[in-house]
Amino acid sequence: MEIIIRWVIQWSYKLLLTFNATSLILVVYFIKGRYYFNCLDKFPIWVSYIACIMCPVVTTAMSLFLKKFLSYDSIEKQPLDIEQANNSFLPSYLGYFFVALSVPTPETLWFIYFILFVFTFCSQAIYFNPIFLIFGYQFYYMTTADNVKIFLISKKQIKTTKALVFPTLKRINNFTFIDVEKGG
């Protein structure tokens, strides 16, 4: 039973991270189309835009809170190499924005979003979400001592591999980990 619960937690967390990583395309489209929340129709439309932007921020905060339910892991051996990955995702996100700005109908948007969501969910590798940057996280590609390249989400500002270990990681999947230690 514990294995099933662990699997459901991992799968649910992965769904949430996938939504967080892809939801900005929806935000851009809704703002472009001047959509608003009906419950906020008495307010200026920019209030709906702020509410729309806050949805992925809130779900990202939820994912950071829920990481405590993931299984622990660690990297005790000094990694061979580490490189910052923050800037390598900028072209992808600009692509999302351009797609959102050029999609003509909501039906087309949902179809494109579904494909993007499925590919991100199935990728098993990376859950880059620029909103993590707002919460102080950085993204790194790290080559472990066993010569395995992983994606690491951490609050640490890492510039060298010297004496670098990660005793308290949470495993998102076999290639993606989030550091639960405070930045150093």
119-147 tens-digit pLDDT: 888 876 667 788 998 999 999 999 988 88
**Choice between 37 and 170, residue whose per-residue pLDDT is larger:** 170
Distance of CA 171 to the CA centre of its chain: 14
- List the domain range (segments joined by +) for residue 31: 2-179
Two tokens at 117?
Answer: 């969501």
In a domain, 85, yes or no: yes
* Domain presence at residue 63: yes
The DSSP annotation for 57-74 comes to: HHHHHHHHHHGGGSPEEE
In a domain, 134, yes or no: yes
Other CB atoms within a 10 A radius of the CB of residue 138 amount to 18
Name the pTM for this structure. Answer: 0.83
Helix (H) or strand (E) holding 26, with range, is helix 24-32
In a domain, 150, yes or no: yes
Q: How many domains does the chain have?
A: 1
Q: State the DSSP H helix or E strand holding residue 172, giving kind and residue range, or none if neither.
A: strand 166-173
- At position 170, the amino acid (one-letter code) is K
Q: Is residue 51 part of a domain?
A: yes
Quote the pLDDT of residue 145: 85
- pLDDT band at 62; cut points 50, 70, 90: very high
Out of 20-24, 118-122, 173-177, 180-184, pick the least confident.
180-184
Give a yes or no: residue 184 inside a domain.
no
Q: Is residue 147 part of a domain?
A: yes
Q: Are 145 and 48 a contacting pair, CB within 8 Å?
A: no
